[in-house]
Structure 1
Amino acid sequence: MKPVIEISGLHKSYGSFQAVKGLSLTINQGEIFAILGPNGAGKTTTVEILEGFRAADSGVVSVLGVDPTIKGKAALAWRNRIGIVLQSTQDTDDLSALEAVTHFATYYSNPRDPLEVLALVGLSDKSNNRARALSGGQRRRLDVALGIVGNPELLFLDEPTTGFDPEARRAFWQLIKQLRDEGTTIVLTTHYLDEAEELADRVAVMNNGEIIEISTPALLGGRDGAKAIITWREDGVIKSAESDAPTQYLIALAERFKGEIPELTIRRPSLEDVYLSMIGISGMGENK
């Protein structure tokens, strides 16, 4: 697969604080790549460097074959190929949704049709409403519309579904998959682990300025071969245990209870369980 983003030995500090420590990764064309990590992990700094909004202290960064710190006409040509959905923007408050998307479309050489974009994000019926009059979730959809109207090769999404209700989130996920299927490479930062699991082809977990692991959501942290998590109620308390031989564990429990085990559940670790363990926050464990 063709690399769209290549990073090698990236460092960035703010005074004595090392925000990014020797980060290296490759993101391939046509994939959805999610970056996960707690606040202060270095996600925002890394993405801002990729977007050309912040300069690295050292290391090599290539985005669509270009150094993001490039200036002049070459920078404009490069920005014509990327789309960015920030956490929030207030620049279009006095414009209608259609006016805002139409205005942003003029910045690009090969934009999508603004009406088509509004339909994609579910704002067709709000096209004549001013941005300031939209609800929080609707405003977020407008932010997404502004990011994709340029028909970008590479799209950066920063917490894209904040403020969405469950139905809107599901619809947005379908849009992102559609963009990926059309060939758009997508870099996603999100605090919603279910969103990363649903969308991402690969995920990178960051903490303390470093990448802990890069893998698919299904394989991250060895979760495909992880121990089963068994929970039940005993003496009025929910207890849990981890076992790589859950059948034998259940037989022993059943013998202890002389029959049915109260409120029994069995599951493998979720992406959230694995993620929390990787960043040093305890999840479910032994509690006999």
Structure 2
Amino acid sequence: MPELPEVETVRRGLSPFIEGATIKSVTLNRPDLRFPFPKGFAKRLEGQTIAHLGRRAKYLVATLSDGGVWLSHLGMTGAFIVNDEAMEEPSRLNPGDQSGKHVHMRAELIHPSRGRVSLSYSDPRRFGFMDLFAAGAANPYLDPLGPEPLSNTLDALYLAAAMKGKKGPIKTVLLDQRVIAGLGNIYVCEALFMSGIDPRRAAGSLSEVDIGRLVVAIREVLLAAITAGGSTLRDFANADGKPGYFQHSFAVYGHEGDPCPREGCGGVIERIVQAGRSTFFCPTCQH
């Protein structure tokens, strides 16, 4: 499933084509994805202008001209397709299945500078979903989320307070979206390695120094992944159909049995399972 950097690269790819565009028509080729499309989905979108395309955690969030929100989650194989437009680097966008077999939604837009833009959503496995929320309405997907890991809200003071008294392993706590929004399994493993923290440690046992290193590591890992265009596991691809390349920079994820890449360590990367997810770490240099 795409993690935060992958969703951010999709957002950056879509923004130049749809921000400021007016939705002229919407066609649904089936009534549902993972969940049914909301009632009146097409009619509620038609005539709206997409004022802004943002990202919250792993969701794409389009703010509409009436103040409402069009929320999308890509699931495992979801992809937005922009037709009849050359991709412009550093835009990145999963081109998906352009044969039409798995295209479940099509929207015709008019952009103020680009003219007609065709936006489609393809999802072979249909694990993605879309929803619409009126201006100011409660949002069960976004409202419970913790701070964005790249925002100023996530700092050592916040994280120390969030970890205080928690007995669960730090790896599991970091995956709790109520603590930090958008952190996924891959990047938590990488951030814990970068900060030298054992993923099995109780979250409440981290010192101020540990937490300071961890905050820095989370930012550095995510920013590096975004710069590289995300990480390809199974179906994610970037703007020109090529995979993201950050997976070539993984220090520990997927490297069970390999020598630890930290200079002078001499340890071997191990894999364990925590809360049903694979954890990769070096038991020698992560304490």
* Bigger CA radius of gyration: 1
* Greater strand fraction, Structure 1 or Structure 2: 1
Interval containing the TM-score (normalised by the shorter chain): under 0.3
TM-score, normalising length: structure 2: 0.27
TM-score (structure 1 length as normaliser):
0.27
